[in-house]
Chain A
Amino acid sequence: MKRVLAVLLAVVCLSAGACSDPDEDADELRSFVRTSERQPRTFTYTVAEEDRAYSVRATIEDELRHSMVLSHGGRPVMDYVVRDDALAIRLRDTAFAQRLANVLGDPVVDAALKQGRWVVDPGGAPPLIGSDVRAGQETSGDPFRDARDAIRSVEQAMGSARLVREFTLEDIEYRPILDPWRYPPKDGRERRYDLLRPRLPTSEAATIQGSGDIGASQFRKTSVFVTGTQIRQICSLVDVRGHEEFLELRRRGLDSNPFLAQLLKRIEEGETAVPIEERYAVAELEYPKEAAVAAPSDAATGRLEAFKTAFQTALEGGLLRPTGRIDTTNCRRTTSES
């Protein structure tokens, strides 16, 4: 009898394609994260949210040395270089500089920044230990920190995922209609790992009356593309309106599920414990043999505290508000793939 059961179980498992160790894919991806984090790299990080859109082009020599260029509205606006304890800034766009504050530092710093020259603060590098991510939120609010931590964010997202699974079209649970991302090539040179979202709660006992309110993780679709042992692309979308349960709710009418309707209302009105915002973020990485970050030459020296405060205040005031149409097609699956 036992043998019959074992055979039946094996048949069921084979047909479901789900017999592998559920942690195996997560362990594999975690090791790729660690390998990739330790390598010099360059990458582009593109973010589109309702109230901010930007891209960052970055070179990472190691965790204490990196250079980045922030672009907004398709134009490079600011250089940001960290070399150990030193921070160097250059504003490339005078209109952008004017939107920060009237005064950007002491007279030497203020003049240099407004003239588009480099300013180096020898002890101005951002802290290494700090509130990396605002409690429960997707980001730190600082585009440079978020870009720098793009790979590390995969591990954080894994922590809140229901499951990490290597993508395969053989997966009987896979629903193409719910998946925004491209397929890896069929030649097997590139693999894709999906961070599966936790399911939505079915009653309030599991949300505000339970262990905690829902968050962005229930709506985040993250896929990580790996070649060899290196992460090549990280694609993430927090998609509230497109969540299948909300789509179904709208189709059937809000009265069909009062709990879900109330949940949707709380999200739309920003009344969840941490506001949940739609967010598209894609990082594309390369690993050149050398990715040295040099100190800028011909830089003025001065304190950048006033500048950092002005930049932070301007960010909170909508400095990176989307201008024009934002291209969020990168990493998406084309119609011909579907």
Chain B
Amino acid sequence: MRLRAFAACALLLFLPACGNESEAVPRRAVSKAVVSLPSQVLGLKIVEENVAGEVRGVSGTYLDSLGLFSFREEDDLLRGTLQVGRFNEVAEPERKRFRDAIIAQLGSTVPLQLYVGGRDVWLTSGTEQSIFTWFDPKGFYVLSVRSDYSFPRTLLRKLLEAEPLR
């Protein structure tokens, strides 16, 4: 699992894939997300990764900021990543069509909609990984977890409870 692969996945989300495409939407440069996460979860270190290289020069139609966080064992083994995107005022996260357009870009299987801890979560799978996606009024979250990690759902629940975009 390589971080760069996740970053590429994140960049997909900047594509103007939803909403009224004929409408002229001013694009602004995307900055680094301000996110509140603990330094550890379930014994995994949470490290904010530098995605400036990937994000530089990209203008986001629906995002103000983007962050990429990795979850690593003590020996730095990568277990998963969390992408956090903060929506700008153009985004319409309350609209199903808007959410569906984002979800459709993730994973290689038809998303399975789950209701967990009071939230809708969409689960898809990619190469050797499970991908959980959820939204809140401020942004979206994409949690990718290696398929050999034993506690993906516990990690998901912890992150749902954490509400990183406050």
Contact = CB atoms under 8 A, between A and B. Distances in A.
B125 interface: yes
B104 to A, nearest CB: 17
B80 interface: no
A62 B123 contact: no
Interface size, A (range): 10 to 19
Nearest to A37: B115
A38 B120 CA distance: 9
A62 B153 CA distance: 12
B112 A85 contact: no
A286 interface: no
Contacts of B112: 128-129
Given A64-B157, A129-B109, A85 B152 contact: yes
Max chain B C-beta neighbours (<10 A), residue from A123, A125, A129: A129
Contacts of A62: 114-118
Contacts of B118: 62
Contacts, number: 41
A84 interface: yes
Interface size, B (range): 10 to 19
B100 to A, nearest CB: 14
B123 A128 contact: yes
B116 A129 contact: no
Contact of B114 (A63, A86, A122, A125): A63
Interface in A124-139: 125, 128-129
Interface in B117-166: 117-118, 123, 125, 130, 150-154, 156-157
B115 A38 contact: yes
Given A37-B115, A128-B112, A128-B123, A64 B151 contact: no
B153 A122 contact: no
Interface of A: 37-38, 62-64, 84-86, 122-123, 125, 128-129
10 contacts: A62-B114, A63-B115, A63-B116, A64-B114, A64-B153, A64-B157, A85-B153, A128-B130, A128-B153, A129-B130
